[in-house]
Chain A
């Protein structure tokens, strides 16, 4: 069998699979120009060999072979095409597989690269952490060393302190010993000195005194007897006992006061803890209330057995219990308040515990102050009550409180009477002056009337009766009611100068007086007699009345 195939370059003829694959591979990698080589594979002469070879190859691939129709000497196209198709399929499959393998290969390559990189990185990191670790170890070791050295130092210091203390104590004993020795020596010296001086005593020591002085308490000196000693002892014990008694009394009083305060506190706490409005019912609270009510019955018993230990313990225990309940209640309220405050920020109505405590403190202070005040009052009262006083001194004493006021009152009465008298006097003067004034004014008015009349008459050569009558009437209108100026006929001037006896005798009223003096407005014809008023006012200056309302106007119209 000639092996034309082996002459074809690049194609090896081994039947093994691997080589086949390889050959296939290389077959696929073959460029297209090798097609011409393939065409050289089958010629006209070796068709059947070629077919046989192809069939062999195809069989090894697992495909159906091609049968050769030897009759015509040519291949039927259908099986060949089928074979070709199958081979193409195979080829395609193989290519796909190759493609996949290639991609897989690429992926693996990149994965490998990635892994290598991360491997490097991790190695670096590991290296780094190893270094750090060693560094930390080193530091820790050093610190441990330091701790050890410090502990050693501390121990040595403590030892030193102990040593010093022992030194101090030993030195102290030494000093004590030395001091005692020196003191003994000194005492010996003193004894000696005493002896020496005692010998000289009779000569030098003396007291020169003019005369004996009496004892400060006036008693005579007493002999020293056993009775005296007993008396001294007795007095000393009496002094001690009285001191103890006073102290015990004050302590008892304090004790009872404190007990009272505790009782009140307990009652208050009970009232606080028993809520009036229906709150979210706390079982514990209700229990507390019921317990409290049971205990309210106790005070009556407690007052009976005041000194009894058990009663005292009972009271204090119940107080403690109440206090604990109150505290828990307050804490609950506090937490509630804080919740409310945090939610709504409106915690104004709830008192914080601190404020509450401050309030309590303030109240305690007030309580203390009030107690002190009461105590002081009590003392004063006691003093007052206990001060010795018999009947007359008591009467005197009673009187003395109002003595000052009585004196003052008497003084004021005196003043008042004096003033009253003064006032009467002045009033009388005033009235007299007013009367005088009235008279004078009347006189003056008459004079003026006359003068005016004469003037007027002198002025006008012609006697104008009407006018004079008018002037008269005008004048008369201005005058006061009591000074009844009769409108005299113009020629009768004499009567004007006579003092009008027709003036009223009765005393004028104050209002009239004032009106006279123009101190109150005179509604009648005030404006007509201006000048007259002014002159009368100036007249009044000379009278002894002190009406400061008057104005001082120079009298220019005095008739005389």
Chain B
């Protein structure tokens, strides 16, 4: 694996264009666009304020920079660098800003979630959508970019509006049977909308595109409910992670639970493999302790680590959450399906150092990765069944069905990997630390064998 040099960024704002050709990073109020292969600076733009949010348009021609403090949004064009566009929300304030799927409209959510303003770059027209709901995930676009679902709250009741993204025409507006809608998500085949209630009540509703309620699912009452939801890429499965440390899988034909995945503290399953990260202490000889070595050669202080396979039954380290606080750190907070639908990666909040990988064909546990620090971020390769994760130290970890490997980021000074994401081709990873980014080039067909 090769690593590129390090570049600066601020606010963890670093995005690859949807066509994979460019890499955009924000450094305070400057927007730097680099060519992805050569990492040469292709364009440089200057915004009026430190950028809080940056997003590529779907056709990779425009970049949106939002500055919430001043209520400004600036749009830059890659084709014509001297084209400019500035949207000023004025005193109404700005809380979030995003592109529409066609790349020609900007949706701004004003402060206090008063309304959503839809600005058109084609016609300078403005549309308003009233009473949007402020929740975990109140807006979602379909994968083909045709429809948008928006959660609304009027008179203490939840409603869902479905808009046609072509001309922002309101297609359907119906009441949702939730007590307090926490999020909604379209299925990848764009025909079903999953809507879930907040954690005080376990309720998952499935609406068809035309607003009919297809099914409703509730696993239990009273205890804290749904924490995270994920669709499988083929729309076959809907994975629901909840506060009772279980993931329930629903199937798309009957919308009933086909299985549930438990996260026990002791793993007895004989087919699963438990990888434990073990740090190797570096042996320091006396002649190595020269000042030169200490400052330049970083590997002296960064420990190497490797994975060892633990014998079953294995114990998973558990951290008991504080029972008095709200939103306790327990339950499945993150779920991700692999691109080929075969694997599901889950993270249980009261076992923060472990990552669980499930085989969707056999519907059983495949591997558990036990790290030395809490897992911060994990992402699947968009092409292959390969998982990259980081725990906030100087290493990046890769898991694939063949095994897993831990790689030290060979950067001067220490590069603490706080988050990462894949390039759309799956051939490289972008690692983000607090103030820098680094690219990691991974061979396409490399099978990771554990050492």
Interface residues of A (CB under 8 A from B): 165, 168, 172, 176, 179-180, 183-184, 187, 190, 193-194, 197, 200-201, 203-217, 221-222, 224, 228-229, 232-233, 235-237, 239-240, 243, 247, 251
Contacts and interface: CB of A to CB of B under 8 A. Distances in A.
B19 interface: no
B85 A233 contact: no
Contact of A190 (B90, B112, B253): B112
A1 B202 CA distance: 136
B83 A215 contact: no
**Main SS of chain B's interface residues?**
loop
Contact of B89 (A205, A217, A228): A205
B208 A210 contact: no
Nearest to B222: A168
Interface of B: 58-59, 62, 77, 82-92, 102-104, 112, 114-115, 119, 121-124, 126, 146-147, 153-156, 164, 166-167, 169, 171, 179, 189-191, 200, 208-210, 222, 252-253
Q: Which 6 A-B pairs have the closest CB atoms?
A: A204-B90, A243-B191, A209-B85, A180-B156, A213-B121, A208-B86
B169 A243 contact: no
Contacts of A172: 200
Given A190-B112, A215-B122, A236-B164, 6 more contacts: A200-B90, A204-B90, A207-B85, A213-B77, A216-B103, A236-B171
Contact of A212 (B91, B124, B126): B124
User: Which of B89, B121, B154 has the most chain A CB atoms inside 10 A of its CB?
Assistant: B121
Nearest to A242: B191
Contacts of B147: 236
Contact of A216 (B104, B123, B179, B189): B104
A224 B85 contact: no
Contact of A193 (B112, B119, B210): B112
A209 B115 contact: no
Nearest to A214: B122
Contacts of B252: 247
Contacts of B84: 208-210
A54 B88 CA distance: 168
**Main SS of chain A's interface residues?**
helix
Given A184-B156, A212-B124, A240-B208, A207 B167 contact: no
Given A208-B85, A222-B167, A233-B171, A213 B104 contact: yes
A237 to B, nearest CB: 7
Nearest to B113: A190
Contacts of A221: 122-123, 167
Contacts of A216: 58-59, 102-104
Nearest to A220: B122
B87 A212 contact: no
Given A193-B114, A221-B122, A237-B210, A243 B88 contact: no
A184 B155 CA distance: 7
A236 B90 contact: no
User: Which of A176, A201, A210, A237 has the most chain B CB atoms inside 10 A of its CB?
Assistant: A210
A147 B155 CA distance: 55
A209 B124 contact: yes
A207 B88 contact: yes
Contact of B121 (A206, A212, A237): A212
17 contacts: A168-B222, A179-B156, A184-B156, A204-B88, A204-B90, A204-B92, A205-B92, A209-B86, A210-B85, A216-B58, A216-B59, A228-B169, A232-B164, A232-B171, A239-B146, A240-B210, A243-B190
Contacts of A205: 88-90, 92, 126
